[in-house]
Amino acid sequence: MRRIRKIDTKPEMIVRRMLHAMGYRYRLHDKRLPGHPDIVLPRHRKVVFVHGCFWHRHDCPDGRKLPRSKPEYWGPKLERNRARDALHVAELRVLGWDVLVVWECELREASCLRVLISRFLAN
């Protein structure tokens, strides 16, 4: 568990490079905001979370997997992650921030990811 990275993960770097190439500038992991969003665009009042499907329980094949060893530990732990994520998104929306959650499985199609980010930032 100690070796699992929180910041500068490969999926996060893909999204950051794409945003930068699109001409957007951002802040990283702002500790003043609930959940310490991965990417913060203060000028636009928007934040982006880049979630791993397994760790944050996405509804895709990778997110539905549960380890065979110690399921009594992993099941509740991963559900707590999902509940905490929902709480952070709700808190950010109350504070007036728009939130986009990019899932790891969505990074496979770069063109779809670019469209998703463009639509989110255009609003």
Q: What pLDDT, in 10s, does the model give residues 56-82? A: 999 988 888 888 899 899 999 999 999
**What CA–CA distance (Å, rounded) separates 25 from 42?**
9
Mean pLDDT, residues 10-35: 95
- Residue 1 in any domain: the answer is no
- Residue 74 in any domain: the answer is yes
- Residue 104 in any domain: the answer is yes
How many domains are contained in the chain?
A: 1
- Residue 49 in any domain: the answer is yes
Nearest to 35 by CA among 78, 79, 97, 77: 97
- Residue 84 in any domain: the answer is yes
Q: What is the CATH number of the domain that holds 49?
A: 3.40.960.10
- Residue 4 in any domain: the answer is no
Task: Give the distance, in angstroms, between the CA of residue 123 and the centroid of all CA atoms in the same chain.
Answer: 19
Question: What pLDDT, in 10s, does the model give residues 78-99?
Answer: 999 999 999 999 999 999 999 9
pTM score: 0.90
116: domain range?
A: 10-122
Give one word for 39, left, alpha or beta, with left for phi > 0 and alpha for psi -120 to 50.
beta
In this structure, are strands 46-51 and 27-28 parallel, antiparallel, or unpaired?
Answer: unpaired
Give one word for 16, left, alpha or beta, with left for phi > 0 and alpha for psi -120 to 50.
alpha
* 120: pLDDT strictly greater than 90: yes
